[in-house]
C-alpha cells in the first residue's frame, strides 16, 4: 500500500530533482559513535607502556606507588629467577675431596733473634667408626647441637642468614648451624668467616644431606670436630679429657664432651673457675635436654648428679721445660690483641715472632733451679714440699717480655706460675700506695714539686738514677722509712687518708689488671691483691720510666699464609704517675734493693735498681721480690700450692728458720739471674749515675 505523499515526505527530504535525500538515523549514529570510541581505545592501548610506572593519570605520591599487578609480577619474576639460579648452582656443586689432615700446617714460634723456638701443630686426631662411639654420647651431641638432626634438610637457613648479616656488619658470628653444616665446614671448607664461605656451606650441606646417610654425616662430624686441648675428634678428646678410648665413656662424661663442643675456650673446666661453672651448667643442661628429647629416661638422668671432673691437660713433649709456658704467653697475647682463637691456633699455619730471649730464659731457669736446689730440701723438711716459683723479666723501655719461669716443666706442671693470678703481692704492692700518697700531696701543693705535669718536664732532662735535691714532705718521709723497714701501719693509714679507690686506680694505671685487685678493705694497702709476676714486673717499670707505663707484650709480629695478623702493633706508653712521684718511690726502693741483695758485681756501692720485697712482717702465704733496672724489670714469686687444695699453703718454715717465711729466696734468685742477664759495665764506677 502506498503511503500518502505527506507521509512519504516525512521519511526524508527530496533533493532538487525530486529524489528523496538519505540521512543518518539514530541507529546509524550510535554505531558510528561506537566505532569512533573503539578507535580511540585502540589508540590509547597502543600508546600504553609495558610497565605503568610512574603511573599515568595519578598525581602526587600515588603516581609513585606501584600497582598490585606490578608488585606481584615483579615478585613472581624475582622468585622464578632466584629458584632457577639456586637450581643451577645446586646442580653444578660437586662435593670436593675431604681435607688431608696430614697436610695441615704447623705453627712456628721464633725467639727474639729470629731463630726457631718450637713447632706446634701435629694434628691430634684418630678416626673411629660410629659403632665405636656409645649411643648415649651420640645422643648427647645431637641433643646439644641439633635436636632434629635425623629429620632436617641439613641446613638452617635462618642460622646462615643471621651469620651472614653479622659478617657483613663486622660482628661476631653466632651459632645455629646444623651438624651437617658443621661437618661440611670441618671436612671440606676453611674456617674463614665470610659470606662466600657461608654460601658454599649452604649448598654443600644440602648436597651432602641428600647424598649421604645421616649416620655417615654424624660419624664424620664426631671425627672432625674440635674439642679443645689440641684434640680433633671424639677419640682424641676422650683421651685428652679422661685418658680412655671413646667406647669406654659413660653418659656423664659424654655430656661434658658434648658441652665443650660449644667452645673449649669457654667450657673446658680446667681453664678457671668461670669456665668450670659454665661447663657444669651446660653439662647438666645437656643431660636434661636428653630427657626432653626422649633419648634418656628420667630415671637414668637421676644417676648423674656429680660433675665428671676431667684430668688436667698436658703439653706435648715438644713444649717441655719453659717452652710450653712461653707458647702459652704468646698465645694469650695473640688472642687478646690479634683476635685469634684457640681453634684458629689449633688449625696451624701461623708464624709467630716473639720477644723471648733464649739466653735470658735459660739464665732465669738456672737461677731458680740453683737457689731451690741449694736452699730447699723437701725430703727432710715437710715445709719445703709443694714449693712453687714464678718469675718474669720485662724490658722497661718498651714492655717486651724477654723471659719467664712458669714452673718446673710445662708438661708436668700445667699452670703457668709467671702469668697466673692468685698469689698475694703483700709488701710488693706498697710502692703503689706510696706513689698515690705522693700524687695526693703534689695535687694539694704539699710536696716539693710544683705539679705532676711540671715534674714530668723536669724529669726528662734529669737522670732518674740521681736522687732529688729536695727533701720529701713529712707524710712521704714516713712511708719512705716504712717501706724500707717493712712497716704496715703507715700504709694502712695512708690508704684511708687518700682513699683506697685512688690507690687502686694508680695501680691499675701502672699495669696491674683490674680483675686481680682485692676488695677495698683496710688491708688492701698492704697487698691483698693477687697480680701475676708478668704484671708486677711490668708495673715496676713505671718507677724506671719516670712515671710512664707500657703494656707488656710478647709477640712482635705474626702472619698466616703470608698475611699479617692485625692488632699486634707496639704498645704505646702512657702516663701512670708524675715523674716526681716515680722518683721519690724509686729512691726508697733503691734502699730496699741495697738492703736485700747488695750491689751487683761491678756496680760499686749503690745498685741501680728499684725493688719491692716481702719481709718477715708479712703474714701472707707468699714471698716476692721485684727488682727493676733501666735494662730489666724482673719479678720473682715463691709460694706453696698442693693439688686439689684451693688455698695456698703457709710459708712459715720454708727453707729453715732463717728464711724469713721464704722471703730470703726471691732476692737470691733475682740477683743470680740479674748478674747474668744484665752484665756490669766495663769500667764500673762508685755510683750508677756514671754508668755509660
Average pLDDT rounded to a whole number, residues 23-36: 66
CA dihedral 490, 491, 493, 496 (to 10 degrees): 170
Q: Which residues pair with 124 in a beta bridge?
A: 231
- Report which of 622, 419, 649 is spatially closest to residue 531, judged by C-alpha positions: 419
| Greater pLDDT, 477 or 527 | 527
Residue 452 has pLDDT above 60, yes or no: no
Q: Residue 150 and residue 170: Cα distance in Å, rounded?
A: 33
| Greater pLDDT, 457 or 120 | 120
Is the four-CA dihedral 55, 57, 61, 67 of positive or negative sign?
A: negative
pLDDT at 691: 29
SS3 annotation, 619-675: CCCCEEEEEECCCCEEEEEEEECCCCCCCCECCCCCCCHHHCCCCCHHHHHHHHHHH
What digits encode the pLDDT tens for the residues 273-321?
899 999 999 999 999 999 999 999 999 999 999 999 999 887 777 788 9
C-alpha cell recorded at residue 375:
736452699
Q: Which residues pair with 14 in a beta bridge?
A: 20
The position carrying cell 769500667 is 683
pLDDT at 613: 78
Average pLDDT rounded to a whole number, residues 417-433: 93
Cα→Cα distances 323→112, 119, 245, 403, Å: 14, 11, 29, 11
Strands 574-575 and 610-613 come out as unpaired
CA angle 490-496-501, nearest 5°?
Answer: 120
The position carrying cell 729512691 is 587
Residue 173 banded pLDDT, cuts 50, 70, 90: very low
Q: What percent of the chain has pLDDT over 90?
A: 43
What are the backbone angles phi and psi of residue 572, rounded to the nearest 5°? -95, 140
| pTM of this structure | 0.68
Residue 473 banded pLDDT, cuts 50, 70, 90: very low
Residue 453 has pLDDT above 80, yes or no: no
| Greater pLDDT, 535 or 682 | 535
What digits encode the pLDDT tens for the residues 336-391?
998 888 878 877 888 899 999 999 999 999 999 999 999 999 999 999 999 999 99
Mean pLDDT score across all residues of the chain: 80
Average pLDDT rounded to a whole number, residues 464-486: 61
pLDDT at 344: 83
Q: Residue 497 and residue 487: Cα distance in Å, rounded?
A: 17
Q: Residue 429 and residue 589: Cα distance in Å, rounded?
A: 12
CA angle 130-131-137, nearest 5°?
Answer: 70
Contacts of 598 (CB under 8 A, 6+ apart): 607
| Greater pLDDT, 262 or 66 | 262
Average pLDDT rounded to a whole number, residues 264-277: 90
Q: Residue 221 and residue 146: Cα distance in Å, rounded?
A: 12
| Greater pLDDT, 453 or 99 | 99
Lowest mean pLDDT among 92-96, 340-344, 437-441, 667-671: 92-96
| Greater pLDDT, 569 or 436 | 436
Element (H, E) at 394: strand 387-395
Residue 229 banded pLDDT, cuts 50, 70, 90: confident
Domain 123-301, CATH homologous superfamily name and number: Biosynthetic peptidoglycan transglycosylase-like (1.10.3810.10)
pLDDT at 692: 28
Residue 9 has pLDDT above 60, yes or no: no
In three-state secondary structure terms, 392 is: strand
Residue 54 has pLDDT above 70, yes or no: no
Strands 633-640 and 387-395 come out as antiparallel
Quickly count: other Cβ atoms within 10 Å of residue 559's Cβ.
14
Residue 41 has pLDDT above 80, yes or no: no
> How far does CA 393 lie from the centroid of its chain?
23
Upper half-sphere CA count for residue 596 (Cβ side, 13 Å): 35
SS3 annotation, 49-115: CCCCCCCCCCCHHHHHCCCHHHHHHHHHHHHHHHHHHHHHHHHHCCCCCCCCHHHCCCEEEECCCCC
Element (H, E) at 391: strand 387-395
| Greater pLDDT, 460 or 550 | 550
- Report which of 447, 500, 456 is spatially closest to residue 475, judged by C-alpha positions: 447
pLDDT at 577: 95
DSSP state of 233: S
Quickly count: other Cβ atoms within 10 Å of residue 419's Cβ.
21
Q: Residue 283 and residue 46: Cα distance in Å, rounded?
A: 73
| Residue 302 falls in which region: left (phi positive, over 0), alpha (psi -120 to 50) or beta | alpha
Quickly count: other Cβ atoms within 10 Å of residue 560's Cβ.
18
Q: How many residues does the chain have?
A: 692
CATH 3.40.50.620 describes domain 426-556+575-690: no
In three-state secondary structure terms, 535 is: helix
Residue 447 banded pLDDT, cuts 50, 70, 90: low
| Range picked from 7-21, 552-566, 674-688 for highest mean pLDDT | 552-566
- Report which of 577, 654, 649 is spatially closest to residue 620, judged by C-alpha positions: 649
- Report which of 476, 483, 457 is spatially closest to residue 579, judged by C-alpha positions: 457
Peptide bond into 54 cis (omega under 30): yes
Residue 540 has pLDDT above 70, yes or no: yes
DSSP state of 526: G
| Range picked from 28-32, 117-121, 220-224, 344-348 for highest mean pLDDT | 220-224
Lowest mean pLDDT among 35-49, 245-259, 437-451: 35-49
Q: Residue 416 and residue 410: Cα distance in Å, rounded?
A: 8
Q: Residue 516 and residue 420: Cα distance in Å, rounded?
A: 10
- Report which of 633, 582, 573, 579 is spatially closest to residue 608, judged by C-alpha positions: 633
Contacts of 511 (CB under 8 A, 6+ apart): 535, 538, 539, 541, 542, 549, 550, 551, 552, 576
- Report which of 662, 669, 679, 670 is spatially closest to residue 370, judged by C-alpha positions: 669
Domain ranges of the chain: 123-301, 426-556+575-690
Lowest mean pLDDT among 9-23, 304-318, 380-394, 660-674: 9-23
Q: Residue 194 and residue 352: Cα distance in Å, rounded?
A: 24
Residue 25 banded pLDDT, cuts 50, 70, 90: low
Rg (CA), the chain: 40
Instruction: Tell me the residue ranges of DSSP E strands in 106-153.
Output: 107-110, 116-120, 124-125
540 and 511 Cβ atoms separated by less than 8 Å: no
pLDDT at 466: 42
Average pLDDT rounded to a whole number, residues 596-612: 58
Average pLDDT rounded to a whole number, residues 434-443: 91
| Greater pLDDT, 444 or 548 | 548
Amino acid at each position: 500500500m502506498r503511503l500518502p505523499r505527506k507521509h512519504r515526505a516525512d521519511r526524508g527530504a527530496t533533493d532538487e530533482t525530486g529524489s528523496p535525500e538519505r540521512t543518518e538515523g539514530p541507529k546509524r549514529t550510535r554505531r558510528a559513535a561506537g566505532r569512533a570510541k573503539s578507535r580511540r581505545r585502540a589508540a590509547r592501548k597502543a600508546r600504553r607502556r609495558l610497565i605503568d610506572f610512574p603511573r599515568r593519570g595519578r598525581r602526587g605520591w600515588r603516581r609513585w606507588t606501584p600497582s598490585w599487578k606490578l608488585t606481584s609480577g615483579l615478585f613472581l619474576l624475582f622468585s622464578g629467577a632466584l629458584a632457577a639460579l639456586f637450581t643451577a648452582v645446586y646442580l653444578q656443586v660437586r662435593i670436593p675431596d675431604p681435607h688431608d689432615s696430614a697436610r695441615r700446617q704447623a705453627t712456628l714460634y721464633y725467639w727474639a733473634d729470629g731463630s726457631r723456638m718450637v713447632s706446634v701443630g701435629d694434628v691430634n686426631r684418630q678416626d673411629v667408626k660410629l659403632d665405636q662411639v656409645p649411643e648415649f654420647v651420640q645422643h648427647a651431641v645431637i641433643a646439644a647441637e641439633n635436636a632434629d638432626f635425623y629429620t632436617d634438610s641439613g641446613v638452617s637457613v635462618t642460622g646462615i642468614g643471621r651469620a651472614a648479616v653479622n659478617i657483613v656488619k663486622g660482628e661476631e658470628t653466632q651459632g645455629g648451624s646444623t651438624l651437617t653444616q658443621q661437618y661440611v665446614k670441618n671436612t671440606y671448607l676453611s674456617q674463614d668467616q665470610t659470606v662466600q664461605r657461608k654460601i658454599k656451606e649452604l649448598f654443600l650441606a644440602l648436597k651432602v644431606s641428600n647424598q649421604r646417610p645421616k649416620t655417615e654425616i654424624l660419624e664424620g662430624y664426631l671425627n672432625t670436630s674440635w674439642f679443645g686441648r689440641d684434640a680433633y675428634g671424639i677419640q682424641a678428646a676422650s683421651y685428652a679429657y679422661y685418658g680412655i678410648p671413646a667406647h669406654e665413656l659413660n653418659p656423664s662424661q659424654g655430656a661434658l664432651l658434648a658441652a665443650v663442643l660449644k667452645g673449649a675456650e669457654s667450657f673446658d673446666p680446667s681453664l678457671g673457675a668461670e669456665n668450670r661453672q659454665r661447663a657444669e651448667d651446660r653439662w647438666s643442661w645437656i643431660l636434661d635436654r636428653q630427657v626432653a628429647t626422649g633419648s634418656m629416661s628420667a630415671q637414668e638422668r637421676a644417676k648423674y648428679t656429680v660433675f665428671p671432673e676431667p684430668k688436667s691437660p698436658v703439653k706435648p713433649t715438644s713444649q717441655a721445660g719453659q717452652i710450653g709456658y712461653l707458647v702459652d704467653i704468646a698465645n694469650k697475647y695473640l688472642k687478646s690483641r690479634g683476635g685469634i682463637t684457640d681453634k684458629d691456633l689449633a688449625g696451624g699455619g701461623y708464624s709467630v715472632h716473639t720477644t723471648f730471649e733464649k739466653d735470658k730464659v735459660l739464665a732465669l731457669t738456672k737461677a731458680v733451679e740453683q737457689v731451690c736446689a741449694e736452699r730447699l730440701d723437701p725430703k727432710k723438711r715437710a715445709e719445703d714440699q709443694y714449693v712453687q716459683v714464678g718469675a718474669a723479666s720485662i724490658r722497661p723501655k718498651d714492655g717486651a717480655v724477654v723471659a719467664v719461669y712458669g714452673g718446673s716443666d710445662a708438661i708436668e706442671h700445667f699452670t703457668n706460675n709467671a702469668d697466673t693470678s692468685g698469689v698475694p703481692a703483700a709488701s710488693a704492692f706498697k710502692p703503689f700506695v706510696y706513689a698515690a700518697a705522693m700524687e695526693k700531696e703534689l695535687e694539694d701543693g704539699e710536696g716539693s714539686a710544683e705539679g705532676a705535669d711540671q715534674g714530668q718536664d723536669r724529669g726528662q732532662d734529669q737522670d732518674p738514677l740521681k736522687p732529688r735535691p729536695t727533701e720529701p714532705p713529712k707524710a712521704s718521709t714516713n712511708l719512705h722509712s716504712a717501706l724500707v723497714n717493712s712497716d704496715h701501719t703507715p700504709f694502712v693509714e695512708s690508704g684511708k687518708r687518700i682513699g683506697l679507690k685512688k690507690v687502686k686506680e694508680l695501680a691499675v694505671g701502672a699495669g696491674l689488671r683490674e680483675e686481680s685487685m682485692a676488695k677495698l678493705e683496710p688491708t688492701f694497702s698492704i697487698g691483698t691483691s693477687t697480680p701475676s709476676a708478668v704484671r708486677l714486673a711490668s708495673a715496676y717499670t713505671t718507677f724506671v720510666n719516670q712515671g710512664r707505663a707500657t703494656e707488656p707484650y710478647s709477640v712482635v709480629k705474626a702472619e698466616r699464609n703470608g698475611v699479617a695478623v692485625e692488632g699486634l702493633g707496639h704498645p704505646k706508653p702512657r702516663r701512670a704517675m708524675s715523674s716526681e712521684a716515680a722518683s721519690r718511690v724509686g729512691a726508697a726502693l733503691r734502699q730496699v734493693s741495697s738492703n736485700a741483695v747488695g750491689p751487683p758485681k761491678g756496680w760499686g756501692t749503690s745498685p741501680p735498681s728499684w725493688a719491692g720485697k716481702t719481709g718477715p712482717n708479712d703474714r701472707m702465704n707468699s714471698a716476692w721480690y721485684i727488682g727493676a733496672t733501666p735494662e730489666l724489670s724482673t719479678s720473682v714469686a715463691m709460694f706453696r700450692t698442693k693439688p686439689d687444695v684451693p688455698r695456698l699453703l703457709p710459708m712459715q718454715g720454708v727453707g729453715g728458720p732463717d728464711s724469713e717465711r721464704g722471703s730470703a729466696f726471691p732476692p737470691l734468685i733475682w740477683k743470680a739471674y740479674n748478674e747474668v742477664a744484665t752484665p756490669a759495665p766495663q769500667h764500673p764506677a762508685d755510683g750508677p749515675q756514671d754508668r755509660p
